[in-house]
Amino acid sequence: MLDDPTQTGTDASALAASVRRADPSDPQISVLDLAVTRGDGIFETLDAIDGFGQALEPHLARLSNSARLLDLPAPCLDLYREGIRQGIAASTHPRLSVKLVLTRGIEGAGRCTGWVFVDPEPDFTEARTHGLKVVTLDRGYRHDVAQTSPWLLQGAKTLSYAVNKSVYREAERRGADDVIFISSDGFVLEGPTSTAVLQFGRHLVTPSTDQGILAGTAQAAFFEYADANGLTTEYRTVTPDELHAADSVWLASSVRQIVPIVEIDGVARGFDAELHTAALDYLVTRRS
């Protein structure tokens, strides 16, 4: 647990003392915390491999951006860095998922609640090797929702993920494993916990982040790999027809890294296995 996660302190020993190791199976959060009663807070999840937190700074930057979008005080990033350092050091597992949370705290208390949760990461070999079936689902918002209605918080990584989870149940009802959201005006957005990446020959495309979607850190690392290996990359609007026409489609996310899509809305499709294997190898071993 992080004592006063929006503090402005920078003294290293004071920051270290602000991290309290806690057993996640014991009660830690008040039933009055607005995270519990309203889902009012933000989070990040990153991958830690052999003690190294992948894309740590982009995740911290996105945490700060989500705080800004929710009018929360800025998180103390040095305190989160210290919490992550201690959490990773306390685990013997080589592959960890690390969750960072900041909530609005108890109503009226004027202090946020924050913690870092470190857990052994699940095994994604099956999905990474054999791919996933996805369905496209209407998100119900226009692609320009972040500009027209910023209070809807599209593009912030809030704790209110009940919808992001309910769509997995809808996918299962339709015989699929995952989802790609489409805007109400017909543009490809993102997965409920991932970024969509399309391949057209030696060119990779992902939906631009001005469409009320998250700037994916795994997708950014995939593009880094592509740029360094003779492929070109592009952020732009993408139509559902292009999803079907693409040579490959992947879902990119921090802990799963990239998973290839082998079916969209009941239509089987292939993927570039050579590029997939090479990029996945880069992603799981990256140290940046």
End-to-end Cα, the chain, rounded Å: 26
Contacts of residue 217, defined as CB under 8 A and 6 or more positions apart, other chains included, come to 46, 54, 55, 58, 59, 62, 254
Quick check: 54 binds ligand PLP (CB under 6 A)? no
> Which stretch in 110-118, 133-141, 215-223, 258-266 sits in contact with ligand PLP by CB under 6 A?
215-223
Which residue number, 195 or 199, has a Cβ lying nearer to ligand PLP? 195
Quick check: 106 binds ligand PLP (CB under 6 A)? no
Q: Report d(CA 185, CA 175) in Å as an integer.
A: 25
Quick check: 197 binds ligand PLP (CB under 6 A)? no
State in angstroms the smallest separation of the CB of 231 from ligand PLP. Answer: 18
Tokens found for residue 233: 């990359």
CB atoms within 10 A of CB 64: 17
- Binder to ligand PLP among 113, 167, 190, 226 (CB under 6 A)? 190
CA nearest neighbour of 4 among 74, 97, 107, 86: 74
Quick check: 283 binds ligand PLP (CB under 6 A)? no
> Which stretch in 31-39, 143-151, 187-195, 224-232 sits in contact with ligand PLP by CB under 6 A?
187-195
List the interface residues with ligand PLP, window 118-157 (CB under 6 A): none
> Is 262 buried (19+), middle (13-18) or exposed (0-12) by CB count in 10 A?
middle
Q: Report d(CA 167, CA 134) in Å as an integer.
A: 11
The number of residues that bind ligand PLP (CB under 6 A) is 14
Which residue number, 106 or 252, has a Cβ lying nearer to ligand PLP? 252
Tokens found for residue 258: 């990239």
State in angstroms the smallest separation of the CB of 17 from ligand PLP. Answer: 30
Structural contact between residues 242 and 198, judged by C-beta atoms closer than 8 angstroms:
yes
Quick check: 188 binds ligand PLP (CB under 6 A)? no
- Binder to ligand PLP among 54, 97, 194, 199 (CB under 6 A)? 194
CA nearest neighbour of 229 among 249, 202, 260: 202
- Binder to ligand PLP among 42, 48, 67, 218 (CB under 6 A)? 218
Tokens found for residue 126: 């099956």
Tokens found for residue 7: 């503090």
State in angstroms the smallest separation of the CB of 201 from ligand PLP. Answer: 24
- Binder to ligand PLP among 2, 179, 253, 264 (CB under 6 A)? 253
CA nearest neighbour of 114 among 64, 45, 14, 42: 42
Quick check: 72 binds ligand PLP (CB under 6 A)? no
Interface positions with ligand PLP (CB under 6 A) = 45, 190, 192-195, 214, 216-219, 252-254
